[in-house]
């Protein structure tokens, strides 16, 4: 059995698809691409697919991840290409590696998000960010399946900054961009919770809903506040990478298959 880890996107209008919608589209793509999936046991076998920390409905993403288990060995890049061709534009498979490590979900420690605030001056966004970061706690409320919950949005934010965005939408005027790194805590803090916190601490209220996109998720470097690629350990642990590292560039280049005599 082979395990393949995939990175995929939710772009454009497909950011409004739910996680269940994506699951259905992906399972159709698996059948269309004739992927030799491994199946669970029991009366209702289903393909072995593990989804990790899906983005909320309505948010775009450049960094969603899942893992599939195969009954036959396949080349990860060929598999990526076949699946990408079998999915609609906007749901794009951008990376694939063979799994050589365990506890992949544990490496998804934080996410880098971008929020576009149309109609907000960057100076107003900067003042709101400063007030948010200066607060020890920022309590926000969100309705969940277990009822209305109150939690601290400030504790989850590892980094937050305001940038001047492009005013490229007619009739909108000013535009501020927020870049934030949010730790994956329990309960989960989402970008809209941070926006609620900015409203509570500095009365920042964009006139139109924010356009939210996840740019990355993975291991969090606490010192720099950056998010690193969670697939890198699998690439580093692959047999090809190990052989290249041990042999060195010159020895690796000398390994040419013998042709016919």
How confident is the model over 43-58, as a mean pLDDT? 92
How confident is the model over 202-229, as a mean pLDDT? 94
CB 257 within 8 A of CB 121: no
pLDDT at 205 exceeding the cut of 60: yes
CB-side neighbour CA atoms (13 Å) of 15: 13
Rounded-to-integer distance, Cα 232 and Cα 145, Å: 35
* pLDDT on residue 168: 64
pLDDT at 5 exceeding the cut of 90: yes
* pLDDT on residue 240: 66
Please name the residue ranges forming H helices in 105-259. 122-134, 191-202, 232-236, 239-253
* pLDDT on residue 215: 98
How confident is the model over 61-90, as a mean pLDDT? 97
Q: In the numeric block, which tokens belong to residue 221? A: 């470097």
DSSP string, 77-109: HHHHHHHHHHS-TTS-EEEEEE--SS-SGGG--
Mean pLDDT (the chain, rounded): 89
Domains and CATH numbers, the chain: 2-106 (3.30.70.580), 108-228 (3.30.70)
């Amino acid at each position: 059995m082979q395990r393949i880890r995939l990175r995929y996107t939710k772009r454009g209008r497909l950011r409004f698809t739910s996680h269940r919608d994506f699951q259905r589209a992906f399972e159709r793509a698996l059948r269309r691409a004739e992927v030799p999936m491994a199946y669970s046991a029991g009366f209702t076998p289903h393909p072995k697919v593990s989804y990790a920390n899906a983005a909320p409905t309505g948010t775009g993403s450049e960094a969603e991840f899942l893992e599939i288990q195969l009954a036959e060995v396949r080349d990860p890049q060929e598999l990526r290409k076949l699946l990408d061709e079998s999915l609609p534009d906007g749901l794009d498979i951008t990376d694939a590696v063979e799994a050589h490590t365990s506890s992949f979900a544990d490496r998804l420690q934080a996410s880098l998000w971008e929020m576009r605030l149309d109609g907000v001056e960057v100076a107003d966004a900067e003042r709101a960010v400063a007030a948010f970061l200066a607060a020890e706690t920022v309590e926000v409320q969100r309705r969940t399946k277990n009822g209305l919950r109150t939690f601290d949005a400030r504790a989850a934010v590892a980094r937050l900054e305001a940038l001047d965005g492009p005013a490229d939408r007619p009739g909108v005027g000013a535009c501020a961009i927020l870049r934030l790194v949010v730790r994956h805590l329990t309960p989960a803090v989402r970008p809209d919770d941070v926006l609620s916190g900015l409203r509570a601490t500095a009365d920042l209220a964009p006139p139109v809903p924010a356009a939210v996109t996840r740019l990355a998720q993975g291991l969090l470097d606490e010192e720099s506040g950056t998010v690193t690629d969670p697939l890198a350990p699998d690439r580093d642990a692959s047999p090809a990478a190990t052989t290249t590292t041990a042999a060195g560039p010159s020895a690796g280049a000398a390994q040419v298959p013998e042709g016919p005599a």
